[in-house]
């Protein structure tokens, strides 16, 4: 890239407000700035209070963190977003958008007229012999778009694109998936309320599913009454979240008899059903994928998101699923800006920011769930004016402009010609005078030449007469003599 380009990646899902500033330079991709906070969880299901709180929180975050970029890409996910892999055959390019629109009409809960969707084709396999084409398509409601646009606008930013979580994660882990390009890899984002699962084959998205389980399920499972050495202890959601963040989830009672000053066996018994539900939902998702596609087992799971940071969770999933589960480096192949503030704090929360980072990286390269009239603002004008009567008028105006240009050029040439003629008329008397002077000069030159020739002949006369006296005998009388241009003629009488 010839010039650097900065853009913001923003994640507003659930009650979070996460923002990262990414700059693409000649020498790579740099993370320049970041911010992370939340609005009160009690506002999650309250509208428009939640959106107003997120807008103000985002605005304050931009100010306090001194973030300079204004263009933002927002990542969306959860139950409000529908992502599908569609295999279509015999559909022309002109019909494609309409066909995909009505495919979504079968599953969305809002009127299809209120749907905003986008899609892109997947690369065809070299071995494919049929005319089928695969497309990744996504859909949101216009209401969700308006809420996002309002938040971004009130925060003083420009909404450049709305991307989806699978595309964002695929961009974040593009180097990791490239290393395993011949394998089937699952990308998993485990958040507070939901878990998003994507499955890639040959680095292409083949399947996506949103599970209504997340870290909150584990937290709530740890709530209740336990009996410790100090007696009965009531664990409320705040205490459970504190225990989960500091100690993780209890797995082996023998290794950890005390867990946060509480019997680990009791906590393990309380949280086990929630963990098994998470594991079962993931297993069912993988089995469904294999049943639909006929593919073999998943080779690896790349997990990220805030809940993926829970201590012992990755170990539990690896053992239960029988699949390697890893949390890859978010900044693989990217760099931190030298002026980045709070780098140690950032590195501790990178999994929570992975969706926002992916949004900034992917931009509008793939799915962009902005309305058509916003993405392609010029199309309505084109459709409006590309009509026979408008085209005829435009053509007439074009011809008129063309005629005007030629007329103006002709007028300019005429003016230049008139000016040249005027100058020529001014110089004619001078030219005539110069011709007379030249003629007089030539005449004078000729006279001078003749005079010089005459003088030269006169100078030769004494010598000529001397030669005549010497050569002509005395008995000869000269009657006439003619000397003309070097020729001497004599007439005389001899006695």
Report DSSP letters for 446-488, one per residue.
HHHHHHHHHHHHHHHHHHHHHHHHHHS-TTEEEEEEEEETTEE
In this predicted structure, the answer to whether residue 447 has a pLDDT above a threshold of 60 is yes
Task: State residue 260's pLDDT score.
Answer: 58
Q: What is the pLDDT of residue 2?
A: 39
Task: Write down the mean pLDDT value for the chain.
Answer: 88
Query: 3-state SS of the chain: helix, strand, coil percent to 5?
Result: 50, 25, 25
**Which has more pLDDT, 126 or 91?**
91
pLDDT at 55: 97
Q: How far apart are CA 176 and CA 373, in angstroms?
A: 37
- The share of the chain scoring above pLDDT 90, in percent, equals 54
* Whether pTM exceeds 0.85: no
Share of the chain above pLDDT 70, in %: 92
Most confident range, picked from 85-94, 161-170, 441-450, 480-489: 161-170
SS3 232: strand
pLDDT band at 232 (very low <50, low <70, confident <90, very high): confident
Across the range 319-347, mean pLDDT stands at 94
Distance in angstroms between the alpha carbons of the first and the last residue of the chain: 121
pLDDT exceeds cutoff 60 at 254: no
* Stretch 434-446: mean pLDDT: 87
Mean pLDDT calculated for residue range 444-470: 78
Contact 189, 196 (CB under 8 A): yes
135 or 385, which is more confident?
135
- Say if residue 372's pLDDT is above 70: yes
CA dist., res. 216 & res. 374, Å (int):
36
Instruction: Give the pLDDT confidence of 295-329 residue by residue, as tens digits.
Output: 878 999 999 999 999 999 999 999 999 999 999 99
pLDDT confidence band for 464 (50 / 70 / 90): confident
Q: Which residue has the tokens 């998702």?
A: 285
The answer, yes or no, to whether residue 125 has pLDDT greater than 70, is: no
- Burial pattern 49-83, b for ≥16 Cβ within 10 A else e, equals ebbbbbbebbbebbeebebebebbbbbbbeebbbb
What pLDDT score was predicted for residue 4? 59
């Amino acid at each position: 890239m010839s010039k650097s380009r900065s853009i913001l990646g923003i994640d507003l899902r659930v009650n979070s407000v996460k923002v990262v500033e990414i700059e693409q330079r000649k020498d790579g991709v740099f993370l320049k700035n970041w911010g992370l906070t939340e609005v009160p969880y009690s506002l999650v299901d309250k509208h428009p209070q939640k959106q107003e709180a997120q807008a103000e929180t985002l605005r304050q975050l931009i100010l306090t963190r001194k973030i300079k970029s204004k263009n933002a890409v927002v990542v969306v996910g959860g139950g409000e977003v529908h992502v599908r892999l569609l295999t279509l055959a015999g559909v022309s390019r002109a019909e494609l958008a309409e066909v995909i629109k009505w495919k979504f009409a079968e599953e969305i809960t809002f009127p299809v007229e209120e749907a905003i969707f986008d899609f892109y084709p997947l690369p065809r396999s070299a071995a494919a012999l049929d005319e089928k084409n695969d497309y990744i398509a996504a859909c949101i409601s216009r209401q969700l778009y308006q809420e996002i646009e309002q938040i971004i606008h009130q925060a003083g930013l420009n909404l450049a694109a709305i991307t989806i979580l699978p595309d964002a994660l695929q961009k974040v882990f593009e180097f990791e998936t490239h290393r395993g390009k011949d394998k089937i890899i699952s990308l998993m984002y485990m958040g507070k309320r939901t878990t998003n699962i994507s499955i890639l084959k040959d680095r292409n998205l083949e399947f996506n599913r949103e599970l209504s389980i997340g870290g909150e399920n584990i937290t709530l499972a740890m709530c209740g009454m336990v009996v410790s050495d100090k007696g009965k202890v009531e664990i409320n959601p705040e205490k459970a979240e504190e225990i989960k963040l500091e100690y993780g989830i209890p797995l082996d009672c023998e290794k950890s008899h005390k867990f946060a000053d509480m019997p680990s066996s009791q906590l393990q018994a309380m949280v086990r059903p929630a963990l098994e539900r998470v594991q079962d939902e993931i297993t069912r998702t993988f089995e469904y994928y294999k049943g639909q596609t006929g593919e073999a087992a998943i080779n690896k799971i790349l997990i990220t998101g805030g809940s993926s940071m829970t201590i012992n969770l990755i170990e539990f999933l690896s053992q239960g699923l029988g699949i390697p589960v890893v949390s890859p480096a978010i900044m693989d192949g990217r760099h931190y800006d030298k002026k980045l503030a709070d780098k140690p704090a950032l590195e501790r929360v990178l999994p929570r920011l992975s969706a926002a980072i992916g949004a900034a990286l992917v931009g509008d390269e793939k799915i962009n769930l902005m309305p058509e009239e916003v993405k392609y603002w010029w199309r309505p004008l084109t459709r409006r004016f590309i009509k026979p009567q408008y085209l005829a008028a435009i053509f007439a105006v074009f011809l008129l402009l063309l005629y005007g240009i030629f007329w103006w050029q002709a007028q300019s040439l005429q003016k230049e010609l008139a000016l040249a003629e005027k100058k020529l008329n001014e110089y004619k008397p001078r030219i005539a005078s110069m011709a007379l002077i030249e003629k007089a000069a030539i005449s004078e030159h000729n006279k001078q030449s003749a005079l010089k020739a005459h003088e030269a002949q006169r100078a030769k006369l004494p010598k000529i007469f001397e030669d005549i006296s010497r050569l002509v005998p005395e008995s000869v009388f000269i009657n006439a003599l003619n000397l003309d241009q070097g020729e001497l003629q004599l007439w005389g009488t001899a006695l």
